[in-house]
A and B are shown apart, each in its own frame.
Chain A
Amino acid sequence: MTTPSSYSLLELNQYIRRVISLNFDEPVWIECEIGQASLSRGHWYLDLIQKEGETIAAQCQAAMWANVYAYLKRKSPIPPEEILKQGMSVKLKVNVDYHERYGLKLIIEDMDSSFTIGVLEMQRQAILRAIKERNLVRKNAETHLPSVVQRLAVISSDRAAGWKDFVKHLEDNPFGFHIIPSLFEAAMQGQQVETEILDCLDKIEKNLSKYDAVAIIRGGGGRTDLAAFDNLKLAVRIAEYPIPVLIGIGHEIDQSILDLVAYKSLKTPTAVADFVIEHNAAFENRLDEVWKWIREESKDRIREEKQKVMELANDLHHAVRARIVLENNKMDHLVMLLRQSGKNLILGHTRRLEFIYTLLSAIDPDKVLARGYSITTHKGVSVSRAADLHRGMNIQTTFRDGTIKSIVE
């Protein structure tokens, strides 16, 4: 057989098909990344890629038929649809299929979900180490959450059920608190999570004074959905964010890296809403307690002051009474002194009078005559010396019982 000088395209493709069939007569395991994934009528169509740095070094289309998908769904510990997503690392058992018209395609026969989980976990552990080395664990919890949280910047998707539940939960709060959530839209799954959430955080930071806290929320998701939140750039941004960031990204079992750095990590959006409502309610309770304390204290104070004024009035009354009594006593004493001194004065005078009387009595002429003495007078003048008398003088001598006249010889 002679070699033709050229092949038809069909002949070439048939040749390629034979070569491939001969070399890949059995399925092989490959490790790659999913570039794109879509589901159509039960079949999955994937773009598989391998990157070197940021460049795609290899690319190939692949398909997973509905029967294989159903088989994987039964045997895999996590649903295959959680793995069949853009950006996921996968280990697939593929048949290399070549069709003359449709070209090369890998037909997926099996998938090792533990490989994907392992890769994710390794990535997660690497980020976790970086977070710990940079002391970012619970770093955002050092920010101050205002006593009353009213203005919430919410990063979510308005299509997410979690956002609607969150808003309704806040509106229906039993205390009637007015809490205003402002939505900043971002992808909540897939590769856009990082850039869109970072954009939202930038926008919020430009108007930081308008918000009390940030909440990043989304409804429930699978285990691998959470992988987008195991992101170092996001973790660093949230850890160092100037106001509290609350996380409610809807997962029950695992923690994402963001949960480790945020102010508070909660399982669901409604749990975040409950946290905010209870935080505000706690403040209201504290206010009630302070109010009760003020009321009791002011009543006590008024009572004390009334007592004080009453005691002062009593003290004043007693002081005045005591002073009046004292002054009365002084007055009584003075009166007594006056009386006493009056009496003494009178007694003195009386004594003096009596003394004078005694003196006078001693020289009373009648009393002298009565004692046997006589009084001689010359011309009415008392004669006390014999030398005063001369011969021939007429004198008069008075006795107790009468008077005689005589002439001096």
Chain B
Amino acid sequence: MKKNLTDYDKAILQLEKLVAQIQNGEMGLEEMRNEVKAAMELIRLCRNKLRNIETDLDAVMEEE
């Protein structure tokens, strides 16, 4: 079955790639500053998304 990546999955892949790039020294400092700022926003979004999914699932499961 072909798996369609969700925004969440894409965000996780992007973060993993960014960490690897920083670790491998493949990125300039100025670029890193901008990328890390964007990454922190992505992490915040991912956490929010997980929290929302958990709340939704809890609500659905409570109905049973």
Contact = CB atoms under 8 A, between A and B. Distances in A.
A107 B46 CA distance: 98
A322 B15 contact: no
Contacts of B43: 309, 312-313, 316
B61 A316 contact: no
Question: Looking at chain B's contact residues, is the secondary structure mostly helix, strand, loop, or mixed?
Answer: helix
Nearest to A323: B22
A320 B32 contact: yes
B23 A319 contact: yes
A312 B18 CA distance: 10
Contacts, number: 48
Contacts of A320: 22, 32, 36
Nearest to A291: B64
A-side interface size class: 10 to 19
A387 B54 CA distance: 114
A302 B54 CA distance: 7
A333 interface: no
Contacts of A315: 19
Contacts of A306: 47, 50
B57 A298 contact: yes
A305 B29 CA distance: 29
Contacts of B46: 309
Contacts of A291: 64
B54 A316 contact: no
Contacts of A312: 12, 15-16, 19, 43
Specify which of A299, A312, A315 lies most central, judged by the most chain B CB atoms within 10 Å of its CB: A312
Contact of A302 (B18, B50, B64): B50
A309 B40 CA distance: 11
A309 B48 CA distance: 11
B17 to A, nearest CB: 11
A309 B51 CA distance: 12
A202 interface: no
Contacts of A316: 15, 18-19, 22, 36, 39-40, 43
Q: Which one of A295, A308, A309 has the highest number of Cβ atoms from chain B below 10 Å of its Cβ?
A: A309
A302 B16 contact: no
Nearest to B43: A313
Interface string A292-326: 00010011001001101100110110011011001
A327 interface: yes
Contacts of B39: 316
A295 B61 CA distance: 7
Contacts of B23: 319, 322
B42 to A, nearest CB: 9
Contacts of B22: 316, 319-320, 322-323
Interface in B34-64: 36, 39-40, 43, 46-47, 50, 53-54, 57, 61, 64
Given A299-B57, A302-B57, A308-B12, 11 more contacts: A298-B57, A302-B50, A302-B53, A306-B47, A306-B50, A309-B47, A312-B15, A316-B36, A319-B23, A323-B22, A323-B29
User: 9 tightest CB-CB pairs across the interface, nearest first?
Assistant: A319-B22, A315-B19, A312-B15, A309-B46, A302-B54, A313-B43, A319-B23, A319-B19, A298-B57
25 contacts: A291-B64, A299-B57, A302-B50, A302-B54, A305-B8, A305-B50, A308-B12, A309-B12, A309-B43, A312-B12, A312-B15, A312-B16, A312-B19, A312-B43, A315-B19, A316-B15, A316-B19, A316-B22, A316-B36, A320-B22, A320-B32, A323-B25, A323-B29, A323-B32, A326-B25
